[in-house]
Structure 1
Amino acid sequence: MANLFLEIPDSFWGLFRSRNRQVYIDALLQINEEYQYSNYYLSREICIQTLSDYFAKTRVVMVQDELEDELDMLEPLSTRILNWLLKAGWLRKVDDYHNMTVNIVIPDYAAVFVDAFTHLAGEDEDATQVYIQNVYAILFAFKNDPRCNISLLKTALINTRKLNKTLQDMLHNMDRFFASLLEQKNYGDLLREHLDGYVEEIVQKKYHILKTSDNFYLYKTDIKQWLSQMRQDTAWLERVCVRNKQLRGLDITPEDIISQLDLIDRGFDDIEHRIMNMDAEHTKYIRATVTRLNYLLNQDDNMKGMVIQVLNELSGSSDEELEQKLALTASKMNFSQFTVISDRSLYKRRKSRQDFAAELAPEEEMEELTRDEILQLNRMKNRYSRRQIRSFVLDRMVDGRYTVTSDTVSSLEDFEKLVLAYDDSVRKDSPYRVLDQEAPMVEHAGYRYPGLVFVRKE
């Protein structure tokens, strides 16, 4: 990198100071596209023709630059731009004496910046797909091709880190769409910003890459499986070390290979975490957009929207105007409206600390029955038929009412039937029910039970 810096002429940096820099950048992108199409050799005539075709469709306004003189200003637009790029060192002329032509090439240092311009212009949005496919192909070759060496693992690690960086950049750039939500003042502008901005730039070009059928998770499962297999196959690791020693003279150990595999594995865990964060940001943005759209659509009809407008108006007023506007607002307020005094009003009374503490108090755990108690209940339920249980209450009713007294229970059988009758009273098909009232406790013949009141259902 230091050598490339030494090759850069001082005039090269003038592009970033120039008021015509966007014109020069567009010209470089067009020349670079034609440069690749023509197998990296362009004549001066082809460069001029390419720029002429491009700028014929675009209106361009240029001012005199620091490297230009009066004669340069008289040249056609495409020739003038090409001459400036040659003088500044962004392009270089190479004489071909065999074919008697002059070729235009892009120097190595300029190619780095042109690639950056291409990336900023959004012309390589499929980078995430390229990186994951590269890692997939490299690990497959390393695992199955005996001629491969450990340098392939380093290449796979570089691609994994590039993919992580690409996803992180995507995540960091999503926050600018949240700021644009509040800048839109009407429904149409916000909807256009969402569809042309977020959906076009994030969902279709970036987020879409992670969610289609040919996405990250399609490759991730196989890659994780291969990494695990390679780390656990001791015999294979030894063969790789011997192969690299014999073919390329590389002195490596199984620990070196496992270390590289661990770094790739950790990189894929980071990728998955970043995708989860993108999912969360995507959900937050969609929810915020829907809320903002609903507010802009109903702010004149919605009470909260009207209150927000009033607060915004008051916050932007001076001290003198504020007193007048507050008085005017107070004179117009109507607290008798149902929307103000109902449970759905703007202000809800806070609960007391006692209520809050009661909600947080742990629930009392129900004491579990012992094995003997469960067996006794099962035997008791199966001992009597439903007709016997109901007859115990119905036969003692007077005018459709029966009150449990001390004469009700005189034996274990009576006590069990009383318990089962109470359990039967809560069923839908039960002919009677128990009144909801505080029943006094009754003690008789060694049994203690509540004085329930059974009444016949209508």
Structure 2
Amino acid sequence: MKVFDVIPGQFFRILTGKNRNVYVEILLSLRKAFKNELYIDKESLVNIFAECLGDLMIPIDIEAELEEALSDLSDINIEGPQSITWSSMAHLILRRLRDTNWIEIEYKQRSYDEIVTIPPYSVSMIEFLHSITQENTQSYKSYAFNTYSSLKTVLSDDSEDYLFTALESAYTNCNLLRDSLKVLLNNIRRYHQILNNSAAANDILKNHFEGYQVLVNERIFHPLVTRDSVLRFKVPIMTMIDKIRSNEELRKRIVALGIKERQYNDPESGMEELSQKLYEIYDTFEGIDRLMQEIQNKNSAYTKASIDKMIYLLNYDQSVKTKLADILMKYSDLDEDKKEVVSSSLKLFKQSYIDEKSPYCRSNRKIRSFEPPEKIKITKTEHPENELSDFLKSVKSLYSQQQVAEYMEKEFGSRKVLNSRDLYIKDDRSFVMMLLAAMRSGEKRIFYDVEFLEGYIENKGYRYPNMRFIRKDEENNDKPLD
């Protein structure tokens, strides 16, 4: 199905006229009005539009609006521009929304009262306009974790009725993850371009701390490398995809549910489409390293460029001498007419003076010494051959799986659930042990699972994710991560 087989031909007309800014605000007020209501009566919506027009600080081109409107305005009491009120303007706008198919008007059952409804394509477009205006509230969703959880549900023994739904959820979250990573990469590029166009240190600081740091780094980039680390879930997700691929009986049950929900036409085409989706999920996470590395490089390049330009702007000479030098450097690139304007505006001439030393002045001869510099003596120290390996072994022993398990056993005590806020963080080692405990939760013979919650914990100068550790059942302690 083509786009304009669904969307009417005049649909975008209100967003291309002179009053497009007004219509965007009207559509956002329409979204707000329908947020908690299934439908709303026509007169109430007119009052909402009139109130919105009164609150707007945007000038309305009434003549252009009357020209764009349809000729039949019999239901609107307008004698001329001088008699137009907010209410009559609201009626006109509501009529244009109806005629361009943004809204539909129908009658209540057993009544002549008119009510307004919004078609599905109009709802999608209004939500899109709203999402553009809400950049400061957008944040990264846990797409990698959601993909992992959905695939784990597919392999669960007690989820027979939700196999198809869980797989579709994994596929959707995988696509959202890939798209969000690409959007993040392009967003960093956009801030890099803004940085290049910045001419003042204050602009750079504002764009970095109020824009990039909040909207990109804290809300998207930081969760990607900590709480919802994509690389952390890569191997488990690829392993589960292999299990589903190798289990033909499981795939047949998934396809059967898809046919039952009218998503697949027949078993043959359903198996082919299912295999394609499994391949896309596997391929996405197999190549996620390259995309994450590109994002890391772009983030580092942006940070370095911000610092370099800040240093340049803070040390840049803004004196008259520097500005005059800029004028002279660009003078040769001007055409003859502009050169004439500059020459007539400025009187430039060379200055010099003559004194008693001007005709001839003997230079003072300097004798340079060519003696070689004194050599630096380097003393060679002897190190045991196995000193480095012993050092590495000692470091590994401090943070081994056994050490982490003993630390968590001590913290758990007799409890079944341990919140991160209850951990006793007294020094750097205990902080590192807590982070390693969270990272090792999926390894073999680890007796607990970790669940990440919203927000962060501030404890004695340390900041770490809000999470809770849940003790596994004894019979499942030896089972590896699915």
**TM-score, normalised via structure 1 length:** 0.58
SS of the residue corresponding to residue 192 of structure 1 reads helix
Query: Hey, what does 1:230 align to over in structure 2?
Result: 244
Q: Is 1:156 matched with 2:158?
A: no
Deviation at 1:181, TM superposition (A): 2.4
Deviation at 1:307, TM superposition (A): 11
SS of the residue corresponding to residue 10 of structure 2 reads helix
Q: Is 1:316 matched with 2:316?
A: no
Deviation at 1:93, TM superposition (A): 0.9
Which is worse superposed, 112-121 or 148-157? 148-157
Query: Hey, what does 2:69 align to over in structure 1?
Result: 67
- Decide whether the 8 Å contact of 2:153 with 2:163 is kept in 1: no
SS of the residue corresponding to residue 173 of structure 1 reads helix
Deviation at 1:208, TM superposition (A): 4.2
- Decide whether the 8 Å contact of 1:93 with 1:105 is kept in 2: yes
Of all paired residues, the percent bearing the same amino acid is: 20
Query: Hey, what does 2:45 align to over in structure 1?
Result: 47
Query: Hey, what does 1:16 align to over in structure 2?
Result: 15
Q: 1:278 aligns with which of 279, 292, 295?
A: 295
- Decide whether the 8 Å contact of 2:244 with 2:250 is kept in 1: no
Deviation at 1:188, TM superposition (A): 2.0
Q: 2:129 aligns with which of 109, 117, 137?
A: 117
Deviation at 1:48, TM superposition (A): 3.3
After superposition, give the CA deviation of every residue in 1:350-381 in whole Å (9 maximum; x if it has no partner): xxxxxxxxxxxxxxxxxxxxxxxxxxxxxxxx
Deviation at 1:24, TM superposition (A): 0.7
- Decide whether the 8 Å contact of 1:91 with 1:105 is kept in 2: yes
Q: Determine the C-alpha separation between the residues in 2 that align with 1:191 and 1:246.
A: 54
After superposition, give the CA deviation of every residue in 1:257-304 in whole Å (9 maximum; x if it has no partner): 555323201112344432322221111111111111111111239xxx
Query: Hey, what does 1:91 align to over in structure 2?
Result: 103
Deviation at 1:104, TM superposition (A): 1.4
Deviation at 1:54, TM superposition (A): 4.2
Residue type at the aligned position of 1:15: I
Q: Is 1:168 matched with 2:182?
A: yes
Structure 2: stretches of 5+ with no match in the other structure: 261-265, 334-338, 354-482
Q: Determine the C-alpha separation between the residues in 1 that align with 2:111 and 2:61.
A: 37
Indicate how the Cα distance of structure 1 residues 163 and 34 shifts in structure 2: closer, same or farther if over 3 A, else same. farther
- Decide whether the 8 Å contact of 1:142 with 1:152 is kept in 2: yes
Query: Hey, what does 2:267 align to over in structure 1?
Result: 251
Residue type at the aligned position of 2:12: W
Deviation at 1:41, TM superposition (A): 1.6
Q: 2:207 aligns with which of 190, 193, 211?
A: 193
Q: Is 1:265 matched with 2:282?
A: yes
- Decide whether the 8 Å contact of 2:244 with 2:251 is kept in 1: no
- Decide whether the 8 Å contact of 1:167 with 1:271 is kept in 2: no
Q: Determine the C-alpha separation between the residues in 1 that align with 2:55 and 2:257.
A: 60
Indicate how the Cα distance of structure 1 residues 284 and 111 shifts in structure 2: closer, same or farther if over 3 A, else same. same
SS of the residue corresponding to residue 227 of structure 2 reads coil
Deviation at 1:27, TM superposition (A): 1.5
Q: Determine the C-alpha separation between the residues in 2 that align with 1:267 and 1:308.
A: 53
**TM-score, normalised via structure 2 length:** 0.55
After superposition, give the CA deviation of every residue in 1:21-40 in whole Å (9 maximum; x if it has no partner): 121112212212331322x3
SS of the residue corresponding to residue 161 of structure 2 reads coil
Residue type at the aligned position of 1:238: E
Q: Is 1:293 matched with 2:292?
A: no
SS of the residue corresponding to residue 114 of structure 1 reads helix
Structure 1: stretches of 5+ with no match in the other structure: 332-458
SS of the residue corresponding to residue 104 of structure 1 reads strand
Indicate how the Cα distance of structure 1 residues 186 and 248 shifts in structure 2: closer, same or farther if over 3 A, else same. closer
- Decide whether the 8 Å contact of 1:139 with 1:223 is kept in 2: yes
- Decide whether the 8 Å contact of 1:314 with 1:325 is kept in 2: no
After superposition, give the CA deviation of every residue in 1:76-119 in whole Å (9 maximum; x if it has no partner): 15444333322322111121123653221111232232232123
Runs (4 or more) in structure 1 with deviation over 6 Å come to 253-256, 305-311, 319-322, 324-331
SS of the residue corresponding to residue 129 of structure 1 reads coil
Deviation at 1:171, TM superposition (A): 1.6
Deviation at 1:203, TM superposition (A): 2.5
Deviation at 1:129, TM superposition (A): 1.0
Query: Hey, what does 2:418 align to over in structure 1?
Result: none
Residue type at the aligned position of 1:111: V
Q: Determine the C-alpha separation between the residues in 1 that align with 2:194 and 2:254.
A: 57
Q: Determine the C-alpha separation between the residues in 2 that align with 1:312 and 1:14.
A: 48
Indicate how the Cα distance of structure 1 residues 125 and 329 shifts in structure 2: closer, same or farther if over 3 A, else same. farther
Indicate how the Cα distance of structure 1 residues 289 and 105 shifts in structure 2: closer, same or farther if over 3 A, else same. same
Matched residue count:
322
**Once superposed, what is the RMSD of the aligned Cα atoms?**
4.1
